[in-house]
Chain A
Amino acid sequence: MSVLVAATVPDIMTFVICAVVVLSGGIGVVMSRNAVHAALSLVLTLFGIAVLFVEQHAYFLAAVQVIVYAGAIVVLFLFVIMFLGVDRTEDVRSEPLEGQRPLALVMIAISLAGVLALSATANWVTGAHHVAGSLTAGHHTDTFLLGKSIFTTYLWAFEATAGLLVVAVVGAVVLARRPSHVHDEDAAPQRPLEHDRGGPEAPGSASAPVPGGGEPAAAGEATDAGKATDAGEAAGAVSHAEVGR
């Protein structure tokens, strides 16, 4: 092909640097224990891809890549990571499924080698040029051509995209909404609050009969444990002792 011959030294240098950046960012996403580091490595990869888009004269897509991916999606990732707690790091060493990681690595290596070998040796049959519209006819910019293609050839797909975005927004709102009627077993985060509420109450209710009944051990246990169930049992034991007396 003629494009192979016409490569200049700056093009090769740009490609090599961007390939290193993209792959190191990808390795950072896969390997890093902290989710924030993974998100920042993802930014590195996305910028490398954007530069490769510029290198292939897709300027508008490079700008959209930086704005949408690095500006919106990664910020959304970071927002959720911060929302759920930054300090939770994954324990990479523990392996719940025995031998899964070496197996995954071997399978991926075999697949990648197969794809590369096939594309190096097989004949490519994608020979038809300018099927959906020419990229080189006239002297239009890629933004002009892309807009013309989207608003004429792919107009219905574009409209369906608008519907998809509306559905995504509505779905996100529905998912993020707190349910109005909350049962006790549904609300997992409320349990520690009940514990905290039961803690200070328990010694007071348990220690009220104690001066008369004289069972300081049970009351002390209830205070140390600080659990509503222990406090209830202790109060029950004290009341039984009172009845027996």
Chain B
Amino acid sequence: MSIGPAWYLGLAAALFALGALGVMVRRNVLVMFMCIELMLNAANLTFVTFSRVLGDIGGESLVFFVLVVAAAEVVVGLGVVVAIFRRRASTTADDLHGMKG
């Protein structure tokens, strides 16, 4: 048997915190996307852990859907990044201040 769920949940929380920190600190849009992927993976790890602990297939099914949504999100997000880069030649989030009052 595997070790207890508390360790997995602690690891997932730490990974989620790392991803949130990256989104707050970094300014490159691509790296911010990667940090969002880190947070999604932390949530997936939590789902799988609870699925094992509760003997429930629902958590694993939800991980499947999270994977699909993450793939769609990355496709659209990177399309937006490329479209912005084509107009402004920059991938830094600070340069996107077109709607600043």
Are A58 and B3 in contact (CB-based, < 8 A)? no
Q: Shortest Cβ distance from B32 into chain A, in angstroms?
A: 10
Are A132 and B57 in contact (CB-based, < 8 A)? yes
Q: B-facing mask of A141-164, CB < 8 A → 1, else 0?
A: 010011001100110010001001
Contacting residues, chain B, for A171 (C-beta < 8 A): 75-76, 79
Q: A-facing mask of B27-67, CB < 8 A → 1, else 0?
A: 11011011101100100110011111111111011011101
- Give the residue of B8, B25, B87 whose beta carbon is less than 8 angstroms from that of A56: B8
Are A188 and B28 in contact (CB-based, < 8 A)? no
* Smallest CB gap from B73: residue in A: A168
Are B2 and A19 in contact (CB-based, < 8 A)? no
- Give the residue of A76, A108, A112 whose beta carbon is less than 8 angstroms from that of B75: A76
Are B30 and A80 in contact (CB-based, < 8 A)? yes
Are A73 and B52 in contact (CB-based, < 8 A)? no
Are A164 and B21 in contact (CB-based, < 8 A)? no
- Bound Cα distance from A188 to B56, whole angstroms: 54
A:186-237 near B, CB below 8 Å? 186, 188-189
Q: B-facing mask of A40-76, CB < 8 A → 1, else 0?
A: 0010011001001101111011001100110011001
Question: Which 8 pairs, one residue from A and one from B, show the smallest C-beta to C-beta distance?
Answer: A132-B58, A175-B79, A168-B72, A6-B1, A30-B22, A7-B3, A104-B24, A26-B18
B residues near A (Cβ < 8 Å) are 1-11, 13-15, 17-22, 24-28, 30-31, 33-35, 37-38, 41, 44-45, 48-58, 60-61, 63-65, 67-76, 78-83, 85-89, 91-92, 94
